Chain A
Amino acid sequence: MYGMVNRAIKDLVEASAGTETWERICERAGLSVTTFSNTTVYDDTVTYDLVAAASEELNLDPADVLQRFGRHWILFTGREGWGPLFDMAGSDLRSFVDGLDAMHARVQASMPACRMPTFSVEESDDGSLLVEYRSEREGLGPMVVGLLSGLAEHFGESWDVEQLNRRQGDLADYFRLRPVPAASRASEAVGSP
């Protein structure tokens, strides 16, 4: 992966737990460096090791770390410097996910080492969305949950994001997004149980 992904993990950890925690995570991950170049391609194991080390250091489930990272990527890192392109990708969550492949294709023109995932979205009769996610990389489903949640937050929309169990033979991960009723949102807002 490009170093910008590892830098995003660094940003997330430093913003939430401080620089010393990040340095301990790097040490735990067996890394001799604590900074990454955005445009350098690092082995995927570096990223996986960082996530595992962050999980141990922060006492969080690895899936939780990935989910937080997905949200951070959308709300902070992805927008940093790429904001205009980001804004062009869509005007709401659905159109954005629809346009992700096109955006990734353009990004890949400049960053040929990227192995981009593909996304597609379908709207069901009940108003829910079914997002299909395909990637060469395994185990990043929780990150997609974070990405989708971050997108909803970005567009001011309320979706309940659920990763569906992967069935035998599935080549993709699926995510069900159900609209959160206004009443629910209101009760959440005032902190009702």
Chain B
Amino acid sequence: MGVLEPGGLAHRLIGELFPFHLLIALDGEPTVVEAGATVEQWIARPVAGELLAKRFAISRPRLTELETDDLLTRRTSVFILDVVDQAKQLRGQMLVLDADHVLFVGSPVLTTIGDIEQIGLAMADFAPHDATLDMIVLQRFAQMQVDDLAQRATELQEAVADRDRFSHSAFTDSLTGLANRRAFWRRCEQLVAERRPLALLFVDVDHFKAVNDAHGHAAGDAVLCAIANRLDAAVRRSDLVARLGGDEFAIVLVGADEATTRAIVERIDDHVCAPIDVDGERLNASVSIGVVTDAGGKGVDELVQAADVAMYEGRQVGRGTITWFVERMRDEREERRALTDDLKHALAAGEVTTMYQPIVRLSDRSVVTCEALARWNHAQRGPISPAVFVELAEGAGLVEELDLMMLRNALDQLGVWSEAHPTLGMQVNMSGRSIHNSLAATVDEALSGAGVAADRLTIEITESWLIRNESEVAAILADVAELGVGLHLDDFGTGYSSLPHIHALPISGVKIDRSFVGQAMQSERSRRLIAATIGMAHSLDLDVVAEGVETEAVAELLVDLGCEYAQGFLFSRPRPAAELDELITHRHPDRPDHPDHPDHPVRS
């Protein structure tokens, strides 16, 4: 063996460099002459002195047949030595020492970190340059990278899911599940940018506040959900229904011409206007719809505003309306908006003044009370009809301020008149919006401030407000009546004229609407209605005041029908307080020169 003499330098170096070496003699059947220190430890069997074939099956990769000569000639080939009866393998090369000896230098084949557990060797058993263990670490590191990727994939999936959830909540109305305002705007902006023809519907639930007030917010939510479902069911898949907020919905009909829009709007109307069951109670539902169509070119804001304007315009006529936008409506809306701004300024600046119209006792034409009436003489536009500015005030939330101003002005004026006319009364109109829990306290404070007795004040209310929440209104009015203040139902006959209302409320009189009075001479039906009202009121000990009396004939008719009091141009148009002094003086029973006064010469 020459250079590999036991104990020699080369022998020692090979032992250290190649712990898994085999010295194989080929002079006969290949026999292992010597094995590296770790080989026998590894396979736990003696190797040195054994036939090679007894311990190892030798092969070359992809080759099954192997000749002994190959061990001598295939100097650069890889040889694989499978340990007989064990799942262990050495891989290395044959170094030819001489014609009869080769030196196998190799290393165990380890493919997984689990193989190390089986190997039963220490790290020190491997030569430092042996890359076998490095491969194991590399595999482990690669596995860690795969694990990291899997973790990142999970994080990425969660991030995407979070984004989707956020996106869904960001663009969905949480109550109804419809698109929300943001989603609606985004969709409309997209359609507008594409210049797609479209129709936009602004849908407002009628009397929704009344539903909330009367049945609670849960019922209100149920109504909104039911309407949302019905709207969604009525449109096409390509359309989008959104809840903009509160009881407002909007719908965009994509690519719809006028005929298609009309058909869908009618379908919506049919779908929505069926009763809604809420906790066993059937609630009537209706919506007011404003419609605008666009062939392309208008902005989203403009379209939504146009549909809103149309809806609002329809609401002036009544609930449950479908109104198609025309340009005139926008102008009128702007006009109303400007006038509302002016009204705010006018109220603050005291430009809304108080006029007084006498109410006379028909039997002697004496002035027994006055109705305080608001008048607005606009600096540029001239006189504005009370019907116009009171409606504006109600729409803009200014009517309470207006009512309070009128109450204080009227009572202050009554206080001024008190010395000369201590029994003269005053009637003040009050909007339904002013009928809230603090009304009695407000009235009491105003009476005290003016130094006027409560029984000289009568508050006029219209019936339409009473249906909103009758029991609550009745309680508030009872508190007011408790002060000694009179309550008259204004415009009686034009609204519900409900006997239960009259029965339930602490009213002291009714005012017959001018529309009946004005027709009294021409219409037998009007005369009968007036007569019936007077009869009914008297049977309940209620005062009756006829409004809008303009002729002697009507006045005489009213006397004949038993009506006690009247107001109208026949007696006096509304005038400033200063202009009424004389009229009141001559037609008020407090005056000694009045025929009814105890000191009147004729009477005495």
Stretch at the interface among B23-31, B36-44, B141-149: B141-149
Q: Name the interface size band of chain A.
A: 20 to 34
Cα of A102 to Cα of B138 in the assembled complex, Å:
15
Contact status B140-A102, CB under 8 Å: no
Contact status B137-A109, CB under 8 Å: yes
Contact status A88-B122, CB under 8 Å: yes
Stretch at the interface among B111-119, B288-296, B380-388, B504-512: B111-119
Q: Confirm or deny: A78 has a beta carbon within 8 angstroms of a beta carbon on chain B.
A: no
Cα of A82 to Cα of B113 in the assembled complex, Å:
8
Contact status A110-B138, CB under 8 Å: yes
Proximity bits, B106-143, A CB within 8 Å = 1, else 0: 00000001101101011110001001011011101101
Q: B147 to chain A: closest CB distance in Å?
A: 7
Instruction: Name the residue on B nearest A98 (C-beta).
Output: B124
Q: In chain A between 1 and 59, which residues have their CB closer than 8 angstroms to a CB of chain B?
A: 3-4, 35, 37-40
Residues in B whose Cβ lies below 8 Å from that of A105: 128
Cα of A38 to Cα of B116 in the assembled complex, Å:
22
Proximity bits, B571-588, A CB within 8 Å = 1, else 0: 000000000000000000
Contact status A88-B137, CB under 8 Å: no
Given A99-B122, A103-B123, A85-B148 contact (CB < 8 Å): no
Residues in A whose Cβ lies below 8 Å from that of B138: 109-110
Residues in A whose Cβ lies below 8 Å from that of B122: 88-91, 95, 99
Residues in A whose Cβ lies below 8 Å from that of B124: 99, 102
Q: Confirm or deny: B151 has a beta carbon within 8 angstroms of a beta carbon on chain A.
A: yes
Contact of B141 among A83, A102, A110 (CB under 8 A): A110
Q: In chain B between 151 and 168, which residues have their CB closer than 8 angstroms to a CB of chain A?
A: 151-152, 155
Contact status B134-A37, CB under 8 Å: no
Q: A124 to chain B: closest CB distance in Å?
A: 23
Q: B201 to chain A: closest CB distance in Å?
A: 45
Residues in A whose Cβ lies below 8 Å from that of B147: 38
Contact of A107 among B119, B131, B137 (CB under 8 A): B137
Contact status B134-A109, CB under 8 Å: yes
Contact status A39-B123, CB under 8 Å: no
Contact status B116-A106, CB under 8 Å: no
Contact status B140-A82, CB under 8 Å: yes
Contact status B152-A37, CB under 8 Å: yes
Cα of A90 to Cα of B123 in the assembled complex, Å:
8
Given A37-B152, A110-B138, A4-B123 contact (CB < 8 Å): no
Contact status B121-A88, CB under 8 Å: yes
Instruction: Name the residue on B nearest A99 (C-beta).
Output: B123
Contact status A106-B148, CB under 8 Å: no
Contact status B141-A81, CB under 8 Å: no
Instruction: Name the residue on A nearest B115 (C-beta).
Output: A84
Q: Confirm or deny: A111 has a beta carbon within 8 angstroms of a beta carbon on chain B.
A: yes
Contact status B114-A85, CB under 8 Å: no
Proximity bits, B86-119, A CB within 8 Å = 1, else 0: 0000000000000000000000000001101101
**Residue total for B at the interface (Cβ-Cβ under 8 A):** 26
Q: A93 to chain B: closest CB distance in Å?
A: 14
Residues in B whose Cβ lies below 8 Å from that of A110: 134, 137-138, 140-141
Instruction: Name the residue on A nearest B122 (C-beta).
Output: A88
Residues in B whose Cβ lies below 8 Å from that of A4: 144
Cα of A105 to Cα of B123 in the assembled complex, Å:
12
Cα of A85 to Cα of B147 in the assembled complex, Å:
19
Contact status A38-B113, CB under 8 Å: no
Residues in B whose Cβ lies below 8 Å from that of A106: 123, 133-134, 137
Contact of A85 among B131, B137, B155 (CB under 8 A): B137
Instruction: Name the residue on A nearest B131 (C-beta).
Output: A109
Cα of A43 to Cα of B540 in the assembled complex, Å:
93
Residues in B whose Cβ lies below 8 Å from that of A99: 122-124
Which residue, B114, B145, B148, has most C-beta atoms of chain A within 10 A? Answer: B148
Cα of A81 to Cα of B145 in the assembled complex, Å:
13
Given A35-B155, A37-B152, A85-B144 contact (CB < 8 Å): no
Given A91-B122, A99-B124, A103-B123, A111-B116 contact (CB < 8 Å): no
Contact status B137-A84, CB under 8 Å: no
Contact status B128-A39, CB under 8 Å: no
Residues in A whose Cβ lies below 8 Å from that of B133: 85, 88, 106
Cα of A89 to Cα of B125 in the assembled complex, Å:
10
Contact status A40-B141, CB under 8 Å: no
Q: A32 to chain B: closest CB distance in Å?
A: 13
Q: B88 to chain A: closest CB distance in Å?
A: 15
Q: B15 to chain A: closest CB distance in Å?
A: 18
Q: B331 to chain A: closest CB distance in Å?
A: 55
Residues in B whose Cβ lies below 8 Å from that of A81: 113, 140, 143-144
Contact status B144-A84, CB under 8 Å: no
Cα of A102 to Cα of B126 in the assembled complex, Å:
10
Contact status A85-B152, CB under 8 Å: no
Q: A80 to chain B: closest CB distance in Å?
A: 11
Contact status A85-B134, CB under 8 Å: no
Cα of A126 to Cα of B352 in the assembled complex, Å:
110
Instruction: Please name 20 further chain A to chain B contacts, defined as beta carbons within 8 Å, in addition to the given A37-B148, A109-B134, sorted by A numbering.
Output: A37-B152, A38-B145, A39-B148, A40-B148, A82-B140, A83-B117, A85-B113, A85-B133, A85-B136, A88-B116, A88-B119, A88-B122, A88-B123, A89-B123, A102-B124, A102-B128, A109-B131, A109-B138, A110-B134, A110-B141
The 4 closest A-B pairs by CB, nearest first: A84-B116, A110-B141, A37-B148, A109-B134
Report 11 cross-chain contacts, Cβ distance below 8 Å, ordered by A residue. A37-B148, A38-B144, A40-B148, A81-B140, A82-B113, A84-B113, A84-B116, A85-B123, A87-B116, A102-B123, A102-B128
Query: Interface residues, chain A, CB within 8 Å of chain B?
Result: 3-4, 35, 37-40, 81-85, 87-91, 95, 99, 102-103, 105-107, 109-111
